[in-house]
Structure 1
Amino acid sequence: MLTRRFSRVLVGVGLLGAAGYAFAPHLSNRISTAAVVNSEVIRIIAPIDGVADDRLPGPGVMLAAGGSRPVVRRLVVEDRERHRLAHDLALVRAQIVEARHGLVQLDAQDAELARRGALYHEATREKLATEIAETRAGHAGALAAAAQARAELDHVLTLRAARHVAQVRVETAEAALRQAEAAAEVLVARLAGLHVEHRAALAGVHLRDGHNDVPYSVQQRDRVMLQRQVLTERLAEARARESALAAALAAEEAARLDRDRYDLALGHAAIVWERHATPGAPVKPGEVLLDLVRCDDLFVEVALPDTAFGALASGDPAHVRLRGGIELQGSIRSIRGAGARSRKTLLAAERPAEHGARLTVEVALPADASHLMAPEGEGGFCGIGRLAEVSFPADFNPFGAEVAARFGGITRALRDAAGWAVEVAARLGASARAETAGTR
């Protein structure tokens, strides 16, 4: 009988301690159970008209950062512009090859003409030198003939003075002298002309042709130079067009890939929250394909009474306790009052409603919170949607803080007493059952 009464007392003490322990946190904290782990939704929309890829990931699939995954492909490939650019580029490259070949031929022809021009100049100079030497020799002969004619005239004059010859013989001798002197003067003039031609030939100008000052080979070299200039300009223009067409073709190739296929590339890891399109089904531009969520940017959305607005501030600490015993430390990142407009951002989870709770508080969680809330691997959805209990430390004055601290000490004592009472009651119950079994 005494054992039963003592057990009842211990159970009562345990219940009293448990009630005090359960009620004590509400004196030093603001606690809300209308809280859920949430994340912003990243919506992937089809930019082109096509077909959803057969390997379109389903809900719960993890997408690694930096990877590229095909999402939409076009049924009909549009290649007209690419073919046109490729044709123009091939034509320009053929023009470049032809221009280079023409320049090689012109260089060879110019070298041949230069060789012929050099031979012509050299032969002309040698021929003029030979003619100068020949004219000098002729001039020397003409001078000798003039001297002989002068001697004969002197002899005839002597004979005429002696009346041995007639006057006609004197006139004949005089005419021969004038003819010999004239021949010598002609050779002197010719020699002067040959010297002028020789000096001009040494300077590259030929005076014997009445219409051309240079030979045909030099004239052809001038024509080749003009043709080379035209081909050089054409080659430079073709090279510029080749660069422009190559850049345009590369841009068209990249644009064609964007037009014909849409690949999903993420700068951060994400998990597929929902798949809106069926793999292999046709999609239109603007149609939603996937909803993604980030597991490294989780937060807890909490509902509180509007009277707590002045007691909270952005950056204040918050204690988050999930059902299942997981506890996390976070901080307030935003507070929206009852009159604020609803958030336009897509959210993965919906906060549970609570009567009288109109203040919305968002508590940021650590980046590794998903590893504690959800199992590793795909399908856990990073713990998004799990209900939570969030407590915010209350701000007391010094007297209130002392009272709260003392009450907290009493609460801890009641909790220890409750634990001790429950343990003793369990032992007494076990011993009573053992005695009863022995009596039987």
Structure 2
Amino acid sequence: MKLARLTIGIVLVGLAIFVIVGEQLAGTSANAFINARLTTTKAPIQGHLTLEPVAIGTRIRSEQTLGFLDDSLVDSSRLNDLLAERARAEAEITRLEMALTATRSAVSLLEERARLYGRERLRQMEAELAASKSVEEAWRAQLRLYQMMLERSSRLSTTGIETTSGLEQAQSRVDVAQRELERAQAQTVAISVGLDAARRGVFLGDGYNDAPYSEQRVSELQWQEQELSAGLAAQKAILEALRRRIDEERLTINRLSHASLEANVNGILWTLKAANGETVQRGQDIYQLVDCESTIVTLSVTEGAYNSLELGQPAQFRPTGETTVLDGVIIRLAGSGAQNVYQNLAVGPSQEHLGRYDVALSVPGLLGDDKLRCGIGRTGRVFFEPRPLDWLRKFWR
């Protein structure tokens, strides 16, 4: 009986020593803390800064407005030049439209005048043709009369009743009448030619061109109308281009004279780099936010433990004061003196931390815990190896 008790005691003592030694010798880190990436908002323009009354450490949602920038001294000289060019273009368009209206009115009046002239000129030439034909008929009748008189004088001359002088006069009258008839016929032909040409729109004769003055003037004004129409279309295109440039310049001035400062992440207002009411320059830092979506765990370990670690190796993180153990994976092995890797993180390393070897973990479980999701600076322990009591801790999770 005593031997059994002694054996059981030795086993229990050995088990306790195994648990204590195993717990202590397992790869751990006692200075692990929750960290996250910083995002810095810079002034997009220069101007007067107005910040919303948001305290440092306040939870911020993405696209939340945190302030405004206003610049009342933005340069608008380019916009003023464009507005002056637009006014000149509009004045030129008005002038061209008035000139085009006057030209079209003059063309309409001259066309009506040309139609009236052509109609009345045709009537005149038709009357001249009729008169010429009448003259021609009159000389034809006169020629027949003189021919009859010549025949009579010729018969009388053979009988000695009519003198030679009378016969010669009769012959002369016939010759003159013949010439006059030919002249009248030629004039009739000339008038007919002119009338046919006039009916086709071409006027012939002394003192006339191929078209009357009204038609010539209409042609000139129609050419001028085409030039004015082309100039008007060009000015309208220029005006449209100026309007687009003015709209673009106004948008540019609006962007340069007013800017809204909005959060680009869901996180915490970490630091303010400029004060409310301050005049800031373009590119100057305004504030920094902690991106709670990028939460990681940073820690340092001894050289021996560091050399046993690998990227992608699983690990466990237990926040201080919590019984919950969260699974993670190694995402960075930065080594000793890794101060540069903390330049864009919310919590920097201590001198003791820099004297050891830096490790970073991705712990997805932090994002699902509202208390730890943005628990920047919260400390804990990280375990890299299985421990003897892990099976018991599973019942406490």
Shared fold per TM-score greater than 0.5: yes
Instruction: Tell me the amino acid that sits aligned with residue 189 of structure 2.
Output: A
Instruction: Tell me the amino acid that sits aligned with residue 388 of structure 1.
Output: G
User: What do residues 396-415 of structure 1 show as CA deviations (whole Å, max 9, x unaligned)?
Assistant: xxxxxxxx7xx56xx75799
Cα–Cα, structure 1 residues 261 and 348, in superposed 2: closer, same or farther, change >3 Å? same
1:60 matched to 2:57? The reply is yes
Instruction: Tell me the amino acid that sits aligned with residue 183 of structure 2.
Output: V
In the alignment, what sits opposite 1:295? 292
From 189, 193, 196, the equivalent of 1:196 is 193
In the alignment, what sits opposite 1:257? 254
From 334, 338, 346, the equivalent of 2:332 is 334
1:174 matched to 2:155? The reply is no
Using the alignment, how far apart are the partners of 1:127 and 1:149 within structure 2?
32
Partner secondary structure for residue 159 of structure 1: helix
Give the Å deviation of 1:69: 5.5
TM-score (norm 1): 0.75
Give the Å deviation of 1:279: 0.8
CA contact (8 A) 2:339 2:354 kept: no
Give the Å deviation of 1:309: 4.5
In the alignment, what sits opposite 2:346? 348
In the alignment, what sits opposite 2:107? 110
TM-score (norm 2): 0.83
Which is further off, 129-138 or 365-374? Answer: 365-374
Give the Å deviation of 1:243: 2.8
Report sequence identity in percent. 24
CA contact (8 A) 1:36 1:350 kept: no
Instruction: Tell me the amino acid that sits aligned with residue 360 of structure 2.
Output: E
1:385 matched to 2:383? The reply is no
Which is further off, 230-239 or 308-317? Answer: 308-317
Give the Å deviation of 1:161: 1.5
Gapped runs of 5+ residues in structure 1?
1-12, 376-381, 395-403, 420-440
Cα–Cα, structure 1 residues 393 and 231, in superposed 2: closer, same or farther, change >3 Å? farther
In the alignment, what sits opposite 1:151? 148
CA contact (8 A) 1:370 1:383 kept: no
Cα–Cα, structure 1 residues 57 and 103, in superposed 2: closer, same or farther, change >3 Å? farther
Using the alignment, how far apart are the partners of 2:394 and 2:222 within structure 1?
108
CA contact (8 A) 2:338 2:358 kept: no
CA RMSD, Structure 1 to Structure 2 (Å) = 3.5
From 305, 320, 323, the equivalent of 2:320 is 323
In the alignment, what sits opposite 1:130? 127
1:81 matched to 2:78? The reply is yes
Partner secondary structure for residue 94 of structure 2: helix
Cα–Cα, structure 1 residues 361 and 239, in superposed 2: closer, same or farther, change >3 Å? farther
User: What do residues 95-134 of structure 1 show as CA deviations (whole Å, max 9, x unaligned)?
Assistant: 2233233323322322222222222223223332332233
User: What do residues 161-187 of structure 1 show as CA deviations (whole Å, max 9, x unaligned)?
Assistant: 122122222222222212222122112
Give the Å deviation of 1:317: 3.3
Cα–Cα, structure 1 residues 358 and 119, in superposed 2: closer, same or farther, change >3 Å? farther
Instruction: Tell me the amino acid that sits aligned with residue 294 of structure 1.
Output: D
CA contact (8 A) 1:314 1:335 kept: yes
Using the alignment, how far apart are the partners of 1:69 and 1:146 within structure 2?
119
From 116, 121, 142, the equivalent of 1:119 is 116
Cα–Cα, structure 1 residues 275 and 137, in superposed 2: closer, same or farther, change >3 Å? same
Cα–Cα, structure 1 residues 346 and 112, in superposed 2: closer, same or farther, change >3 Å? same
Instruction: Tell me the amino acid that sits aligned with residue 111 of structure 1.
Output: S
CA contact (8 A) 1:85 1:245 kept: yes
Partner secondary structure for residue 172 of structure 1: helix
In the alignment, what sits opposite 1:164? 161
Which is further off, 281-290 or 65-74? Answer: 65-74
Using the alignment, how far apart are the partners of 2:302 and 2:206 within structure 1?
116
In the alignment, what sits opposite 1:234? 231
In the alignment, what sits opposite 1:312? 309
Cα–Cα, structure 1 residues 332 and 355, in superposed 2: closer, same or farther, change >3 Å? closer
Cα–Cα, structure 1 residues 90 and 162, in superposed 2: closer, same or farther, change >3 Å? same
CA contact (8 A) 1:349 1:384 kept: yes
Give the Å deviation of 1:56: 6.5
In the alignment, what sits opposite 1:94? 91
1:277 matched to 2:274? The reply is yes
CA contact (8 A) 1:297 1:367 kept: no
Instruction: Tell me the amino acid that sits aligned with residue 169 of structure 1.
Output: G
Cα–Cα, structure 1 residues 225 and 256, in superposed 2: closer, same or farther, change >3 Å? same
CA contact (8 A) 1:135 1:190 kept: yes
Instruction: Tell me the amino acid that sits aligned with residue 114 of structure 1.
Output: E
CA contact (8 A) 2:326 2:365 kept: no
Partner secondary structure for residue 263 of structure 1: strand
Q: How many residues align?
A: 385
CA contact (8 A) 1:70 1:261 kept: no
Using the alignment, how far apart are the partners of 2:393 and 2:234 within structure 1?
95
Using the alignment, how far apart are the partners of 2:175 and 2:356 within structure 1?
143
CA contact (8 A) 2:34 2:295 kept: yes
Partner secondary structure for residue 117 of structure 2: helix
CA contact (8 A) 1:305 1:357 kept: no
Which is further off, 55-64 or 35-44? Answer: 55-64
Instruction: Tell me the amino acid that sits aligned with residue 332 of structure 2.
Output: S
In the alignment, what sits opposite 1:221? 218
